[in-house]
Homo-oligomer: A and B are copies of this chain.
Amino acid sequence: MPYPSQVQRADLIDKARELIESEGLDRLTLQSLAAAFGIAAPSLYHHFKNKTALLAAVNAATASALVEAMLAAASQASAEDQADPTSALIHMLHGYRMFAHAHPVTYSMVFANTMSALKPDPKTAEALVLPLQEIMARVVGAAKSLPALRGGWALVHGFVMLELAGQFQRGGDLDNAFETAVRTYMDGLRQPE
C-alpha cells in the first residue's frame, strides 16, 4: 500500500458540491478538488472521465438530494396534513424551497440551460417530479395533474430562482409571499372551469 489516500468517488462528488456552494462553480478546478483530499489533480481521472463527467455527477447528486428533502418534509408533516392532499403538497413545496435556499448554487446548476450536457438524465429528472405529481393527482385528479403540476412547479422554481437572484428587491416577507403565491395557485386549481 504505497499511497494512503484511496479516495472514494462518492466523497469526491460530495466535496465538489460543498466547494461549488462555498467557493462558486468557476472556482472548482480539478486542482482545488484534488487538494481538498491531499491528492494530485491527475488522480481524479481515475474516478471521472473528465471534468464534465464530474459536474454531471454533481448535478445528479443534487437532484437526488432534492427529492429526499421533499420526501422528508412531507413525512414530517402532521398526520392531518398528510391526509389532506393540499396541505401535504404545500409541505413538500416548502421542503423544496428550503433545499434551494440551502444549496443555491448547485440547485441552480441543475436547471441552468447555459450548460448543456450537464443535465441530469431523463430518469433522474423523472424521479424529481414524481413525488410532486403523485400528490397533485390527489388534489386535482390524475387527468389534470400534468398541467397542474407544471404550473405549480414553475411557480415554486421561479420564485426560488428570483429570490436567489436577488430580484425581489423591495423586501417584505418573502416567506409569506411564497406561502401566499402557492396558496393562490392552489385556490385557482379548485375553481371550476
Interface residues of A (CB under 8 A from B): 24-26, 104-105, 108-109, 111-115, 119, 122, 125-126, 146-148, 150-151, 153-159, 161-162, 164-170, 172, 176-177, 180-181, 183-189, 191
Contact A112 B119 (CB under 8 A): no
Q: In the assembly, what is the distance between CA of A115 and CA of B104, in Å?
A: 12
Given contacts A113-B166, A184-B185, contact A153 B158 (CB under 8 A): yes
Total identical chains: 2
Give Cα distance in the complex from A108 to B23, angstroms: 21
Closest chain-B Cβ to A158's Cβ sits at a distance in Å of 2
Q: Is the interface of A mostly helix, strand, loop or mixed?
A: helix
Q: Which of A154, A167, A181 has the most CB of B within 10 A?
A: A154
Known: A105-B114, A180-B147, A188-B187. A162 touches B154 (CB 8 A): yes
